[in-house]
Structure 1
Amino acid sequence: MTAWLARLDLTQRLGYAGLIPFVLTTLGVLFGVAGSSELFKLYSVVILAFMAGATWGALQSQTQRASSVDLTLAIGTSLWALMAYLLPADVAVPLLVMGYALLLWLDMDGSISENYSTEYTELRKRLTIIVVALHVLVFIAL
């Protein structure tokens, strides 16, 4: 484990560290720990809004090629996340998955992916797939 961590750069370490609250709250939901689903939902909203902002920022650097639709979808995702927060967890979790899927789709768009290294693009894909899988587990448990 230590050798694996030593090979990761700071971005990768922080990305994987960001999974820890998802994993812990998922385990809490699976084992029936009170409040776990609300904490899972809250953390998911925060991360989705953060990722939406990062995507919006990446699009902003492509002012010549970034479409207004992509910009609206990116920033709209943070509002989507806020709306999901106000709903019960069993409704919010699928909505949050839709937000993560939308951001992944936007990330794979040529105008954004040009801003990212291949390693970072792969990291975002990998982390998003893990996060979506954890959302599916939570949804099933709810």
Structure 2
Amino acid sequence: MLHFLGYAGLIPFIFLPLCSLVWQLMLPAQALLLFQFYSCLILGFMAGAIWPVLYQAKQPAGRAIAAVIFPVFAILGIAILPAYILILMALLFLALRVYEYQTEINQLYSAPYQALRNQLTAVVVLCHLAFYLGYGNV
């Protein structure tokens, strides 16, 4: 069930760019805005997954800051760097995954969940980059 929910969470990342860049079911700006909001929501959700391991950490305050900094940077990016938000969001999703490896949080995940996280992160990053490249051509 968890794998199904993880993959289902990719639907907006794949569908929204297609709705504006390929099928023209909505204006690109509208699809981009929805994509950005959804991306921030999911990034916050994924960063929030760090919270349960805070109590197992030697430095819980640092991890608590890390857990909230990713979505905060995303929101600030939308406000300050709207032209580059898709690149920034791709980097934030990638940075979150790298952070999990560097802090050994990843080792607390089961092997199937680690594989799922790697797959989902790769698809999300690629969707952001594809939307950025495609949006520039609209």
Normalized against structure 1, the TM-score is what? 0.81
Q: For residues 30 and 107 of structure 1, what CA distance do their matches in structure 2 show?
A: 33
Q: Are 2:134 and 1:116 aligned?
A: no
Aligned to 2:17: 26
Q: CA deviation at 1:124?
A: 0.4
**Pair 1:121–1:66, CA change in 2 (3 A):** farther
Q: Are 2:57 and 1:51 aligned?
A: no
- Which amino acid counterpart does residue 131 of structure 2 have in structure 1? V
Q: Are 2:53 and 1:62 aligned?
A: no
Q: For residues 91 and 69 of structure 2, what CA distance do their matches in structure 1 show?
A: 12
Q: CA deviation at 1:85?
A: 3.3
Q: Are 2:89 and 1:96 aligned?
A: yes
RMSD of aligned alpha carbons: 1.9
Q: Is the 8 A contact 2:54 2:60 kept in 1?
A: no
Residue 61 of structure 1 aligns to a residue whose secondary structure is helix
Normalized against structure 2, the TM-score is what? 0.83
Runs of 5+ consecutive residues of structure 1 not aligned to the other structure: 1-9
Aligned sequence identity (%): 29
Q: For residues 141 and 87 of structure 1, what CA distance do their matches in structure 2 show?
A: 21
Q: Are 2:34 and 1:39 aligned?
A: yes
- Which amino acid counterpart does residue 50 of structure 1 have in structure 2? F
Q: For residues 15 and 76 of structure 1, what CA distance do their matches in structure 2 show?
A: 22
Q: CA deviation at 1:92?
A: 1.1
Q: For residues 50 and 133 of structure 1, what CA distance do their matches in structure 2 show?
A: 19
Runs of 5+ consecutive residues of structure 2 not aligned to the other structure: none
Q: Is the 8 A contact 1:42 1:85 kept in 2?
A: no
Q: CA deviation at 1:87?
A: 4.8
Q: CA deviation at 1:90?
A: 3.0
